[in-house]
Amino acid sequence: MSHHALTIHQAQEKLRAREVSAVELSQSVLNRIQATDGRLHSYLTVCAEEALAQAEAADRTLSNGAIPPPLCGIPIALKDVILAQGVRSTAGSKILERFISPYDATVTQRLKEAGAVIIGKVNCDEFAMGSSNENSAFAPCRNPWDTDRVPGGSSGGSAASVAADQACASLGTDTGGSIRLPAAFCGIVGLKPTYGRVSRFGVVAYASSLDQVGPCTKDVRDCALLLEVIAGYDSRDSTSVNRPTPSYTTHLERGVSGLRIGIPQEYFIEGMQPEVETAVRDAMAHLQALGAEAVPISLPHTEYAVASYYIIAMAEASSNLARYDGVRYGYRAAEVEDLGELYQTTRAQGFGSEVKRRIALGTYVLSAGYYDAYYVKAQKVRTLIRQDFLDAFEACDIIATPVAPTTAFRLGEKLAAPLTMYLSDIFTIAVNLAGLPGLSVPCGFDHHGLPIGLQLLGRPFDEEALLQAAYAYEQDHDWRTRKPPL
Ligand code: GLN
């Protein structure tokens, strides 16, 4: 097996046994990027020089005999909304095209402290707004399983790079499904942690009450490993929650015996691709065969999730994006007469059309006269949705659903009608409104050879149960051994 195909835990073993050096591993990943990224566009910035220097440092640590830090010498990619000191961070937007971050996000700092090699910054929808990666201001990222199809969004580059062995693992962000949807479309594991589990400090804000950073990995063990490194309290993020981080890898093999798995009737809808439903139901049956108990549950306010999410997310986005004014960061319009014109022209030229649509809608739902009718109402619905989940968790320990109603769609297919694009998020969005953890794990392929994802949802701060169930399922299947035909 080529080095670039290694998972984190496989690479850890080989590095520690000195069967491969950190420099060889990073070089192999860089070669892979060079060979494949012309077709995929996963990367917006490749940090070749810095990565090799970090790998050299890792080799010195590995050879000094002491136990190395957990990610020592492991190449990891960052979604381009996550800041890394001295590296360009565009957030997929022209307005930040030349923005070099003066500091590290907390998650980046934790990766570095764990010895990781930051291999580059990966593609995403502009400011993480989208479900297909087609809203990237630079180039759409493509699905490694079929380059005419989207990788899902907004963390499309995070998922595609891992599926295509252009990184051992990556970090993405998930505001309304942006880790889980691309993970499902690209056939990898993706986890959105509980809101407050992982620091948002140094992550370009989209909708601050929903955003979470999470791992995109080749298997469940890697997901547990990476979460262990990035999770934990951070005084620089006021919404970070101060509670201990469990050792997710230690109890990974606990199994599902006696686990009650809730199956919500509202998540199997008309118009769903039949192969997706079959694969997800087969996965549930498999978990039952392993000793779990299936419990039918109901999440009655599910049908209002997409509408209330898009009101809340756009409202928060309109406020968060006010800071891009041509004065402090990135792009600045030339030849303007006064300050008002500077703001207007910078924003008109710097933002793409989806971002503008969201600023306009977000401003509208927050404006006097509409605030109560839209924003306040959406917040009330949000409370009902969270309560639905908390009620359901009286009867079950985790919930299993599809990640999306279909497998990856074609580029351009949903661009003309934003609403059809928003509906790709129908099964992922409620989780963000409720602040719960959600995981996507591969559970099969359709007749085009496109991956299908199983979604597992948990109680607040119970990522452990999701990882254990996903691990038990994954061990009995070989989906992860299939590789895209690149
Ligand atoms: N597709 C959703 C949106 O566009 C979710 C994006 C995300 O999770 N960042 O808002």
Q: Establish if 360 belongs to a structural domain.
A: no
131 lines ligand 1 (CB under 6 A): yes
User: With bands split at pLDDT 50, 70 and 90, how would you rate the model's confidence at 270?
Assistant: confident
Closest residue by CA, ligand 1 atom 10: 129
User: With bands split at pLDDT 50, 70 and 90, how would you rate the model's confidence at 262?
Assistant: very high
Between the CA of 414 and the centroid of ligand 1 the distance, in Å, is 15
Question: What pLDDT, on the 0 to 100 scale, is given for residue 328?
Answer: 87
Q: Establish if 283 belongs to a structural domain.
A: no
Between the CA of 257 and the centroid of ligand 1 the distance, in Å, is 35
Between the CA of 433 and the centroid of ligand 1 the distance, in Å, is 12
User: pLDDT per residue over 120-145, tens digit each?
Assistant: 999 999 999 999 999 999 999 999 99
User: pLDDT per residue over 68-92, tens digit each?
Assistant: 999 999 999 999 999 999 999 999 9
Contact status, residue 161 vs residue 124, Cβ threshold 8 Å: no
Count CB-CB contacts under 10 A for residue 75.
34
Between the CA of 423 and the centroid of ligand 1 the distance, in Å, is 11
Interval 93-122 mean pLDDT: 97
Bridge partner residues of 117 (DSSP): 75
Between the CA of 254 and the centroid of ligand 1 the distance, in Å, is 33
Listed range (23-37, 297-311, 415-429, 430-444) with the worst mean pLDDT: 415-429
User: pLDDT per residue over 192-237, tens digit each?
Assistant: 999 999 999 999 999 999 999 999 999 999 999 999 999 999 999 9
Q: Establish if 193 belongs to a structural domain.
A: yes
Range of the domain at 249: 3-257+439-481
- Using the structure block, give the residue that is written with the tokens 């109402």: 377
Q: What is the pTM of this model?
A: 0.97
Question: What pLDDT, on the 0 to 100 scale, is given for residue 431?
Answer: 98
Residue 189 pLDDT more than 90? yes
* Cα 405 to Cα 274: distance, rounded to the nearest angstrom: 9
DSSP string, 313-367: HHHHHHHHGGG-SSSSSS---SS-SSHHHHHHHHHHHHS-HHHHHHHHHHHHHHS
Question: What pLDDT, on the 0 to 100 scale, is given for residue 421?
Answer: 85
* Cα 433 to Cα 74: distance, rounded to the nearest angstrom: 33
Q: Establish if 298 belongs to a structural domain.
A: no
* N-terminal to C-terminal alpha carbon distance within the chain: 16
Count CB-CB contacts under 10 A for residue 68.
19
Question: What pLDDT, on the 0 to 100 scale, is given for residue 422?
Answer: 85
User: pLDDT per residue over 334-362, tens digit each?
Assistant: 999 999 999 999 999 999 999 999 999 99
Q: Establish if 399 belongs to a structural domain.
A: no
The pLDDT mean for the chain works out to: 97
Q: Are strands 398-402 and 451-458 parallel, antiparallel or unpaired?
A: antiparallel
54 lines ligand 1 (CB under 6 A): no
Residue 403 pLDDT more than 70? yes
Question: What pLDDT, on the 0 to 100 scale, is given for residue 142?
Answer: 98
E-only strand ranges, 53-106: 75-79
Q: Establish if 315 belongs to a structural domain.
A: no
Question: What pLDDT, on the 0 to 100 scale, is given for residue 260?
Answer: 98
Q: Establish if 401 belongs to a structural domain.
A: no
Residue 382 to residues 38, 152, 248, 403, 435, Cα–Cα distance (Å): 42, 25, 29, 20, 10
Residue 420 pLDDT more than 90? no
Question: What pLDDT, on the 0 to 100 scale, is given for residue 1?
Answer: 67
Can you list the alpha helix ranges (DSSP code H) found in 402-449?
A: 418-422, 429-434
* 432 CA closest ligand 1 atom index: 8
Token pair, residue 182, equals 């691309």
Closest residue by Cα to residue 46 from 17, 12, 72, 80 = 80
Question: What pLDDT, on the 0 to 100 scale, is given for residue 423?
Answer: 84
Q: Establish if 65 belongs to a structural domain.
A: yes
Residue 389 to residues 220, 360, 396, 482, Cα–Cα distance (Å): 24, 31, 10, 34
Interval 138-153 mean pLDDT: 98
User: With bands split at pLDDT 50, 70 and 90, how would you rate the model's confidence at 286?
Assistant: very high
User: With bands split at pLDDT 50, 70 and 90, how would you rate the model's confidence at 397?
Assistant: very high
Q: Give the residue, out of 82, 129, 311, with the most ligand 1 atoms within 8 A of its beta carbon, to mutate for a pocket test.
A: 129
* Cα 389 to Cα 386: distance, rounded to the nearest angstrom: 5
133 lines ligand 1 (CB under 6 A): no
* Cα torsion 263, 457, 173, 35: sign: negative
DSSP structure class, residue 374: I
**Residue 164 phi, psi dihedral angles, 5° rounding:** -95, 10
* 173 CA closest ligand 1 atom index: 9
Closest residue by Cα to residue 442 from 189, 250, 271 = 189
Q: Provide the annotated active-site residues.
A: 79, 154, 178
Interval 259-273 mean pLDDT: 93
Interval 240-248 mean pLDDT: 96
CATH number at residue 99: 3.90.1300.10
The total number of structural domains in the chain stands at 1
174 lines ligand 1 (CB under 6 A): yes
331 lines ligand 1 (CB under 6 A): no
Bridge partner residues of 36 (DSSP): none
